[in-house]
Structure 1
Amino acid sequence: MVLLLDENIPRKLKYRFSEAHEVLTVPEMGWSGIKNGDLLQKMEQKGMTLLLSVDKNMSHQQNLEKYGVSLLVIDAVDTRYDTLLPFVAKVEKVLEGETAPGLIIIE
């Protein structure tokens, strides 16, 4: 299962996930700066179904079910590495279960 980290997530956070998950970042895929709809389309083309972000508005702007994407949104006060690090275990717990297309809030 591949987890894609949106460009609003610090890249080095990817190394904090267990080896059970392949974690890629938007920049390393060459998708920096593209609009959310285009990002979801590219994910669909690559067969990716999990996107981790802090963008709480994306689910209101895009039809996630159309692209078959589960959007995991971290509900954090900022996007600093130290702030997001405690959420890694919570994200992995969510990934242990089944994730349906749509919005999943990580608190």
Structure 2
Amino acid sequence: MKILFDNGAPKPIARSLPGHEVTLARWIGWHELENGELIRMAEDAGYDLLLSTDKNIRYQQNLTGRRISLVILGNSQWPMVKLYLEEISIAVNASTPGSYFEVQIPFR
């Protein structure tokens, strides 16, 4: 699966997603794009999934008919995120075109 990490998604998560191709938005110059444009460009470029920390994206974007899926992290702080790598991996692997899943990661 071809995965795009949005700005807030911690880079080390990629190590927990073996068999997937991970790209960071910053690496390809997409780090300043607004959500709608980022999703459109990612989908046009063949990405299957966008991993983001923007919980508002669910209310801003309609995923009906989209090929790309979204996995949203409830927290972007690595000390907490690393405790939820299995849940993130499960969400990524279970995603289907146009799906949305939020991984609840509490703040401490």
Preserved CA contact (<8 Å) 2:69 2:95: no
- CA RMSD, aligned part only? 1.8
* Uncovered stretches (5+) of structure 1, i.e. residues with no partner: none
Q: CA–CA distance in 2 between the matches of 1:96 and 1:34?
A: 26
Q: CA–CA distance in 2 between the matches of 1:91 and 1:99?
A: 14
Q: 28-37 or 95-104, which moves further after superposition?
A: 95-104
- Runs of 4+ with deviation above 6 angstroms: none
Q: CA–CA distance in 2 between the matches of 1:75 and 1:19?
A: 22
What is the number of equivalent residue pairs in this alignment?
A: 104
Structure 2 equivalent of residue 37 of structure 1? 36
Name the TM-score, length of structure 1 as normaliser. 0.82
Return the letter of the residue paired with 2:11. Answer: R
* Uncovered stretches (5+) of structure 2, i.e. residues with no partner: none
Q: CA–CA distance in 2 between the matches of 1:93 and 1:102?
A: 14
